[in-house]
Amino acid sequence: MSQSISNQESETENPGQVSIKDVARLADVSIATVSRCLNHPDRVRENTRARVQQAILKTGYSPNTLAQSFRRGKTQVIMVVLPSIGDPFFTEVMKGIRSVASSRGYSLLISETQFNTMTDDEIGAMVVSRQADGIVLLASMSPFGTEVLSSKSHQALPIVIGCENITPDLAGFPSVRIDNVAAAREATDYLIALGHRKIAFIHGQMSSLLTRERERGYRASMRAADLPIEDRWVVEGKLSIQGAIQATRKLLNHDHNPTAIFCANDEMAMGCIHEIKSSGLKIPKDISIIGFDDIRYAEILDPPLTTIRQPAEKIGERVMHRLLLEVEAGRSRNGQVEIVPHELIIRESTGPGNV
């Protein structure tokens, strides 16, 4: 009992991290056995396991994740690249991503592109240096970014794309999204069915393929109904409330105004509604507004917003699910595009066109 003199390991004394060695010494086994207790408990005898358990408790040992990651070559971290966590839509997608991730023991490293391509470098670094086991890409990327992603020179990290339409250079990557063209078309069709003929389209940054797809849907719908599109009806603003306000202002400052506006997402619709109301027009009496995404604010806007609902959380879940399939099962990348259903939610921001 009266053990050694100076060098007792006893309790919480030493500041240096307690390692597997300390446990091994205390339990009087080899470090291999301790490791096995943790990773393959079935391969070690009941008896020993208990002793090791004791030692672990007594020493307060917990594995050094850094060493584990290093050794195993896996980090249990998934990187998520998105335009902005501020957007309520992405928040919702993140919810799905997070729930799957954390149920499977993964942490999330989040990188915002802030609608520009500045983080390409960051992403490149990530891919190359494998700080993450996989990447969820919710943003469109610059050509450079996509190049480094798909580069074969580094053993490729698994990537799954969510929400965004994939650019030609990213073809081959699995993805999960709605059919943006069809959805936008449905939205526009609805406005037309209400009797509107002069329909504008407000969208954000052109860099995003996604909004371009929505524009395509809009144009397709108009063409199908034989309705003309004036150039000034399609207006680009910064993808923010302020951007939408300015875009709307441009739209209203003329005679021959549109009687309906299709906003490429709900956040822009919020700015749009605000600007229209402060210009004295009534919604939907004078002008109808339709949005896209169905964020949580959509239904409490005044008036409540008619919009296209994306199953945001479900998209997040599916994306993560498929990513983990590649990460864990090493499943070879099957570039299948998974289309999830959208839904037109009719509220009160749209009304009959006064024809």
Partner DNA sequence: AGCATTTGTGTAAACGTTTACATTATACAC
Partner DNA sequence: GTGTATAATGTAAACGTTTACACAAATGCT
Interface residues with DNA (CB under 7 A) are 16-17, 19-21, 28-33, 35-36, 38-39, 43-45, 47-49, 61, 63-64, 67-68, 70-72
Minimum distance of a second copy from residue 242's CB (angstroms): 9
Under 8 Å between Cβ of 331 and 134: no
Residue 6 binding: pick among a second copy, DNA, none (C-beta 5-8 Å cut-off by kind): none
CA distance 186 to 345: 11
Binding to a second copy, residues 149-178 (CB under 8 A): 152-155
User: Given the complex with DNA, which of 62 and 102 has the nearer CB atom?
Assistant: 62
Least spacing, CB of residue 329 vs DNA, in Å: 16
28 binds, among DNA, a second copy, none (CB under 5 to 8 A by kind): DNA
User: Does residue 133 belong to the site contacting a second copy (CB under 8 A)?
Assistant: no
Q: Which listed option, DNA, a second copy, none, makes contact with residue 188 (CB within 5 to 8 Å by class)? A: none
- Residue 72 or 282 with smaller CB distance to DNA: 72
Considering CB distances under 5 to 8 angstroms, the limit depending on partner class, which of DNA, a second copy, none binds residue 142? none
Q: Measured between alpha carbons, how far is 66 from 57 in angstroms, rounded to an integer?
A: 21
3-state helix/strand/coil string of the chain: CCCCCCCCCCCCCCCCCCCHHHHHHHHCCCHHHHHHHHHCHHHCCHHHHHHHHHHHHHHCCCCCHHHHHHHHCCCCEEEEEECCCCCHHHHHHHHHHHHHHHHCCCEEEEEECCCCCCCHHHHHHHHHHCCCCEEEECCCCCHHHHHHHHCCCCCCCCEEEECCCCCHHHCCCCEEECCHHHHHHHHHHHHHHCCCCCEEEEECCCCCHHHHHHHHHHHHHHHHCCCCCCHHHEEECCCCHHHHHHHHHHHHCCCCCCCEEEECCHHHHHHHHHHHHHCCCCCCCCCEEEEEECCCCHHHCCCCCEEEECCHHHHHHHHHHHHHHHHHHCCCCCCCEEECCCEEECCCCCCCCCC
Q: Which of residues 50-69 bind a second copy (CB under 8 A)?
A: 60, 62-67, 69
Task: Name which of DNA, a second copy, none residue 215 binds, using a CB cut-off of 5 to 8 Å depending on partner kind.
Answer: none
Task: Assess 35 for contact with a second copy (CB under 8 A).
Answer: no
Q: Which does 203 bind (CB under 5 to 8 A by kind): a second copy, DNA, none?
A: none
- Least CB distance to a second copy at residue 312 (A): 11
Q: How far is the CB of 72 from DNA (least distance, A)?
A: 6
* Shortest distance, position 149 Cβ to a second copy, whole Å: 15
Using the contact rule CB under 8 A, the part of the chain among 42-50, 107-115, 175-183, 199-207 near a second copy is 107-115
Q: What's the Cα-to-Cα distance from 81 to each of 88, 164, 236, 311, 317, rounded to whole Å?
A: 15, 11, 24, 19, 15
Question: Closest distance between a second copy and the C-beta of residue 229, in Å?
Answer: 28
Q: From CA 268, how far away is CA 245, in angstroms rounded?
A: 8
Using CB under 8 A as the binding criterion, the count of chain residues that bind a second copy stands at: 50
| Count of alpha carbons within 13 angstroms of residue 169, beta-carbon side | 13
Min. distance of Cβ 114 from a second copy in angstroms?
9
Contacts of 255 (CB under 8 A, 6+ apart): none
88 binds, among a second copy, DNA, none (CB under 5 to 8 A by kind): a second copy
Site for a second copy contains 38 (CB under 8 A): no
**Residue whose CB is less far from a second copy, 154 or 254:** 154
- Residue 70 in contact with a second copy, rule: CB under 8 A: yes
Residue placing its CB nearer to a second copy in the complex, 109 or 209: 109
- Where on the chain is the footprint of a second copy (CB under 8 A)? 12, 15, 17, 60, 62-67, 69-70, 73, 75, 77, 85-86, 88, 91-92, 94-95, 98, 102, 107-112, 122, 125, 128-131, 152-155, 241, 245, 270-271, 274, 277, 296-297, 300, 302
